[in-house]
Amino acid sequence: MSLRVYNTLKGQKEDFKPLEPGKVKMYVCGVTVYDYCHIGHARANIVFDIIYRYLQFAGFDVTYVRNYTDVDDKIIKRANERGISSKELSEEFIRAFDEDMAALGLAVPTHQPKATEYIPQIIEICQKLIDKGLAYASDGDVYYRVGKFPDYLKLSGRNMDEMQAGARIAPGEQKHDPMDFALWKAAKPDEPKWESPWGPGRPGWHIECSAMSSALLGETFDIHGGGRDLIFPHHENEIAQSEGASGKPFVNYWLHNGFVNINQEKMSKSLGNFFTIRDILKRYNPEVLRFFILSAHYRSPIDFSDQNLIDAENGLRRFYEALDSGYEAIDGAQGTTPAEDGALLETQFKAAMDDDFNSALAIGHLFDAVRTVNRLVATKKFRKKPELVATVADLLQKIRTLGEVLGILQSDPAAWLNQQKKAGLVDLGLKEADIEAAIEARLQARKDKDYARGDEIRDELEARGILLLDTAKGTTWKLK
RNA sequence: GGCCCCGUCGCCAAGUGGUAAGGCAGAGGUCUGCAAAACCUCCAUCACCAGUUCGAAUCUGGUCGGGGCCUCCA
């Protein structure tokens, strides 16, 4: 089974063949750093995180580049509003971004370039495009002459005539044609600026990705990713810039993740219905958010709601409870003997991920493995059956290894469950000591065969959201 | 208006020609003093209509419904 990916450029799934066998060069558009990241950013970054992880798991040597766009109209505007420099503002939000991504457990990319560190390369591309007649300087600005690039709109599948109907030239722009776009913008007063052959100015909107990707990955590379909304104009323009300048194919596989919706509607700042990652992590474990996102295919829209996150939390709990009881049951036994069930799980997992990174299907297979573990552990005289213990040990090992590819199931099971319980207690306004005291009281009542009193205590706790569990090792509790 | 996507069990969600994964919820059972968890069993013909095909959730056309891009956006 080999990897297949959906390529936006072709509109279909294709066999994935890297330029250089065994190596993958991947670029993903990062964020413009002027505000806190929202859950849409979380999805995009988590999705490409697991693509990065899976490619490595599949044996590729991956170079992963994710940029920071730290010069931009929105940054300038926001910095001016706050009376600080663009640099101060962008540095603040780069830190915030890094914190958020770390909280979400993302692997760190190979390179994380900043646009402002690539100004010379940006100017070079602009010059090359001017030399080739694909761009022109106009009153300190530089614009891309879209009409000179025949492949324009090949990614988004649009048509020039229809696009032109809606295009217009904004006041202050010096375009020859409404469809042309800015590569370089002359600096206005109080704007960050760099010297250039066309006077002091700053990069346009799309050029930095062309510059950084070619500098770090070469003129042609394997994978370019980002959200669907970047297909036009951002990625379309990147293609025009990069292929225009180099005369070579820019990217072989374009991957785009779907949106996060709120109540079936796109989340957006203009609608005011967005949640920041920080907001979410106050209420939910980061792994819950990741699990929720990975429980749908990356190209599908996903609906964000409390109920859906609670469902995800319950699903994750099933994993951790199985891991917890499984590890306890094997009591330190190692999965030295590869078992049939474990091999099957790995085969199915790979098949799912090979099919355009179908994490939802992969998780389904992991759930199957959980049931197998639970079933075996519940077998009578389990501990006296070495072959079953070995199978469970192997399965638990596999579940964790494959979980790591998805960035989940890496916590200590008991600790994770405990942390969930404690977080829930705070919500319920209860203290652990009170519960322990109630358990003691009930234990005494049961010793005295006063089951009525015992049940009464249990019912009282249940009414407050706590379930008591009688196990072989004593009474524990969990959130209802 | 142009381009594009989606509509699968009560909910979430896989499944692009071969007869519907998985999770949650629900029903019955095993276990339990009673419970909980776990396990076992059960629980959908895929918005609608018409085609293509030996065979369609999967292909084609149409209808209805929802969403996205075309302006900053993951």
Query: Is residue A217 located within the same domain as residue A126?
Result: yes
CA/C1' separation A256–B1 (Å): 26
> Which nucleotides in chain B lie less than 7 Å from some protein C-beta?
1-5, 11-16, 21-25, 32-40, 66-74
Q: How many helices (H) and strands (E) does chain A have?
A: 16, 15
User: CB neighbours (10 Å) of residue A437?
Assistant: 11
Asked if A22 and A89 sit in the same domain, the reply is yes
Tokens 């042309």 correspond to A180
Residue A363 maps to which CATH number? Answer: 1.20.120.640
The pLDDT confidence band at residue A480, using thresholds 50, 70 and 90, is: confident
Q: Which residue has the higher pLDDT, A467 or A99?
A: A99
**Residue A94 — very low, low, confident or very high, per pLDDT cuts 50/70/90?**
very high
Q: What is the DSSP letter of A146?
A: G
DSSP symbols for A244-280: HHHSS--EEEEEEEPPEEETTEE--TTTT---BHHHH
Residue nearest to nucleotide B5 (CA to C1'): A300
Using the predicted structure, report yes or no on whether residue A398 has a pLDDT greater than 70: yes
Contacts of A165 (CB under 8 A, 6+ apart): none
Measured CA to CA, the distance from residue A46 to residue A38 in angstroms comes to 12
Report the nearest residue to nucleotide B25, CA vs C1': A311
Question: A84 and A122 in one domain?
Answer: yes
Instruction: For strand B, list residues 415-454 of chain A whose Cβ lies within 7 Å of it.
Output: 446, 451, 454
Q: CA-to-C1' distance for A29 and B56, Å?
A: 39
Is A9 in the same domain as A111? yes
Rounded mean pLDDT of A443-452?
86
CB proximity A25–strand B (7 Å threshold): no
Whether the CB-CB separation of A129 and A183 falls below 8 Å is answered with yes
Sequence-separated (6 or more) residues with CB below 8 Å from residue A30: A66, A67, A68, A69, A97, A112
Distance A104 CA to B58 C1' (A): 36
Sequence-separated (6 or more) residues with CB below 8 Å from residue A137: A130, A197, A198
pLDDT tens digit sequence for A271-313? 778 889 999 999 899 999 999 999 999 999 999 988 899 999 9
- ipTM value: 0.94
User: Nucleic chain B: which protein residues 348-367 of A have CB below 7 A from it?
Assistant: 352, 355-356, 358, 360-361, 363-364, 367
The terminus-to-terminus CA distance of chain A in angstroms comes to: 43
Distance from CA(A403) to C1'(B27), angstroms, rounded: 33
Domain end: A414, A445, A462, which one?
A414
Q: How far is CA A156 from the centre of its chain?
A: 23
Higher-confidence residue: A472 or A445?
Answer: A445
Q: Cβ of A315 < 7 Å from strand B?
A: yes
What does the pLDDT read at residue A293?
Answer: 95
182-211 of chain A touching strand B, CB 7 A cut-off: 205
Calpha distance A113→A290 (Å, rounded): 25
Same domain, A248 and A328: no
> Is A200 inside any structural domain?
no
**Do residues A445 and A392 both lie within one domain?**
no
A384: left (phi over 0), alpha (psi -120 to 50) or beta: alpha
A175 CB contact with strand B at below 7 Å: no
Shared domain check, A407 and A366: yes
Taking residues A89-103, report their average pLDDT: 97
pLDDT at A411: 95
Q: Judge whether A220 lies within some domain.
A: yes
Strand B interface, A 369-388, C-beta < 7 A: 370-371, 374-375, 377-378
pLDDT above 60 for A135: yes
- The residue type at A47: V
Q: Is the CB of A166 under 7 A from strand B?
A: yes
Question: Which of A414, A444, A471 marks a domain boundary?
Answer: A414
Number of domains in chain A: 3
**Is the CB of residue A458 inside 7 Å of nucleic acid strand B?**
yes
User: Average pLDDT of chain A?
Assistant: 91
What type of residue is A283? R
Confidence of residue A175 (pLDDT cuts 50, 70, 90): confident
The residue-averaged pLDDT of A385-397 equals 93
Burial of A203 (0-12, 13-18, 19+ CB in 10 A): buried
List of A residues 88-147 with CB within 7 A of strand B: none
Nucleotide nearest to A470 (CA to C1'): B36
Task: Print the domain residue range for A435.
Answer: 430-479
**Which tokens sit at A270?**
């203009």
A220 contact to strand B (CB, 7 A limit): no
* Furthest C-alpha separation in chain A: 94
Encoded tokens for A324 = 């917890």
Q: Say whether pLDDT at A267 is over 90.
A: no
Same domain, A211 and A360: no
Q: Is A133 helix (H, G, I), strand (E, B) or coil?
A: coil
Distance (Å, whole) CA A379 – CA A448? 32
Indicate whether A181 belongs to any domain. no
What is the Cα A458 distance to its own chain's centre? Answer: 42
Count how many residues are written for chain A: 480
Q: Per the domain annotation, does A224 fall within a domain?
A: yes
Q: How far is the CA of A366 from the C1' of B14 (A)?
A: 13
Q: In what order do the strands lie in the sheet with A135-138?
A: A135-138, A141-144, A181-186, A201-203
Q: Are residues A255 and A109 in the same domain?
A: yes
Domain boundary among A385, A414, A443: A414
Q: What's residue A460's pLDDT?
A: 85
State whether residue A379 is helix, strand or coil.
coil
Regarding whether A475 and A410 lie in a shared domain, the answer is: no
Using an 8 Å Cβ cutoff, are A200 and A193 in contact?
yes
The pLDDT-based confidence of A177 (bands split at 50, 70, 90) is confident
A325-364 pLDDT, tens per residue? 999 999 887 766 777 899 999 999 999 999 999 999 999 9
Q: Is A175 inside any structural domain?
A: no
The CATH number covering residue A22 comes to 3.40.50.620
A408 inside domain:
yes
**Predicted confidence band at A395 (pLDDT cuts at 50, 70, 90)?**
very high
CA distance A283 to A309: 10
Distance in Å from B25's C1' to A200's CA comes to 63
Q: Is residue A52 part of a domain?
A: yes
Cα radius of gyration (chain A): 27
A181 CB-near residues (< 8 Å, 6+ apart) = A143, A144, A146, A204, A205, A206, A233, A237
Position A46 in a domain:
yes
A68 and A119 together in one domain: yes
Is residue A57 located within the same domain as residue A9?
yes
pLDDT at A335: 62
The reported pLDDT for the residue numbered A167 is 66
